[in-house]
Amino acid sequence: MILRLDRDINKQPSESDLVQLLLKRQAELNALLEVTLAINKNSAASVLFEMLEVILRVNLKVGRMRLLVKEGGQFGCVTGFGSYTEKPEDYQKICSLLGPLKTISSLSGYSDNLLGGYDFFVPVRHKNNTLAFVLIGDFNTVPELLSHELNYIQTLINIIVVALENKKLFHERVQRERFQRDIELAGEVQNMLVPLRLPKSEKFEIAATYLPHQNIGGDYFDFIRLNEHEFLWCIGDVSGKGISAALLMANLQASLRAWASVESNLDHLIRKLNDVVTKNTKGERFITLFLGRYNEVTREVEYVNAGHNAPILIANCKPTFLKDGSTMLGVFDDLPFVRTGRLSVPENALIFNYTDGLIESADEDVFVTEDELVKYLTDHCDLHSNQINKGILSEIQTAKNAQMHSDDITLLTLKIY
């Protein structure tokens, strides 16, 4: 039932009644002003609810109240006073009973036990949606003022609920902006860690292409000059994406550079890196990693492949997959085995390193097979390293109609003359 003001137009209020009415209106306006000032001071929700209780109890003589606010698609009781017997699950039933009501309504026609202690339903709505509603019981007011005071309660609740909603939205916006800034900072840090320039030499040529799926990615590559005749290169991929993946890769790079300067045995080096990953991730993430070391004097390559896509060596037009190594890093506290691969590299050889974003999407749609990669590399092994990287990407995107934007992609091509 929708309430309307029932006033006897023939009854003239006395001077005393008018004074009391004016004082009551002044108290209501003062209360609204106090609530508004508290909102402007960014007072906590608990403070606003305490003020609401005082206004309803003292100014309006309300004996029982429940304020239910919509959060995450469901209504929950955020504050109230007066005796009650409801349980949290009862409020969902109350919501289903009163949901169709869109205006201030009397609850006298409801026989449900849950509503037996309440007299009125006061909704707060915005754009055809009910944001909150108030249940009022034991309401001691004169009939002539009932409609006005219920409307006043609705206005008061509306101010508080909208303020809290705006505060929540502001907080969420600040969190989003802070998160976005964190991503940007992490991306800047990661870009500082990725080699911007790779060395040039008469004895070798190396080029890298790094395409993160987002501002920051989980792929990693590096080039480390060990001494006058040796250098180490690596390529890796961490499970998962985002800030945590980038930070884990940054930690791995720092550890690799620290240990590579003092540890010449790749078996020992990969085990130390596994210790770093397992301690940092506690088994929740893993890393695939390929480590290769080349000696320009002996023309020998030593390598360990820790669960990574096998790099492809093209020498004398024949392919060799560099598979020897161990399991992924971070899976076991101690690597169960490590097999170091060794081979001699003839002149004009090519070693193509890549991450799995090149060959398949996150949902395992395959872009290109290993045989197709081998054919492309064999047919174009006379090109410069950077031309090979660009050509493979262009070939896959054109021939396979692949967007290739669901994962990080890293290519590292090494040509040894």
How does pLDDT run across 383-407, given as a tens digit for each residue? 999 999 999 988 887 876 766 666 7
The domain in which residue 319 lies consists of 194-416
Task: Provide DSSP, 291-327.
Answer: EEEEETTTTEEEEEEESPPPPEEEETTEEEE---EES
Phi, psi of 201 (to 5 degrees): -155, 160
Please indicate, yes or no, if residue 294 is contained in any of the structural domains. Answer: yes
Quickly tell me which residue has 């890769």 as its tokens.
249
Query: Do residue 161 and residue 205 come from a single domain?
Result: no
Q: How many structural domains are present in the chain?
A: 2
CA distances from 136 to 106, 124, 346 (A): 10, 14, 89
Query: Do residue 222 and residue 102 come from a single domain?
Result: no
Element (H, E) at 183: helix 143-193
CATH number of the domain residue 72 falls in: 3.30.450.40
Task: Determine if the pTM surpasses 0.85.
Answer: no
8 Å CB contact between 29 and 47? no
- Using alpha carbons, select from 129, 210, 140 the residue that is nearest to residue 165: 129
Quickly tell me which residue has 């989980």 as its tokens.
218
Query: Do residue 294 and residue 368 come from a single domain?
Result: yes
Q: Per-residue pLDDT tens for 220-267? A: 899 999 999 999 999 999 887 667 777 788 888 889 999 998 999 999
Query: Do residue 221 and residue 114 come from a single domain?
Result: no
8 Å CB contact between 198 and 385? no
Please indicate, yes or no, if residue 252 is contained in any of the structural domains. Answer: yes
Query: Do residue 227 and residue 369 come from a single domain?
Result: yes
Query: Do residue 367 and residue 328 come from a single domain?
Result: yes
Query: Do residue 128 and residue 229 come from a single domain?
Result: no
Residue pLDDT tens, the chain, 417 long: 444 444 444 556 666 666 667 777 887 888 888 889 988 888 888 999 999 999 998 888 899 999 998 887 788 888 999 877 778 778 888 888 888 888 999 988 787 778 878 999 999 888 888 889 999 999 888 888 888 899 999 999 999 988 888 888 888 888 888 877 777 776 676 666 677 788 888 899 999 998 876 666 678 899 999 999 999 999 999 887 667 777 788 888 889 999 998 999 999 999 999 999 999 888 788 999 999 999 999 999 999 999 999 999 999 989 999 999 999 999 999 999 999 999 999 999 999 999 988 887 665 566 788 888 999 999 999 999 999 999 998 888 787 676 666 678 899 999 999
Percent of the chain whose pLDDT exceeds 70? 88
SS3 108: coil
Query: Left (φ > 0), alpha (ψ -120 to 50) or beta: where does 133 sit?
Result: beta
Query: Do residue 157 and residue 222 come from a single domain?
Result: no
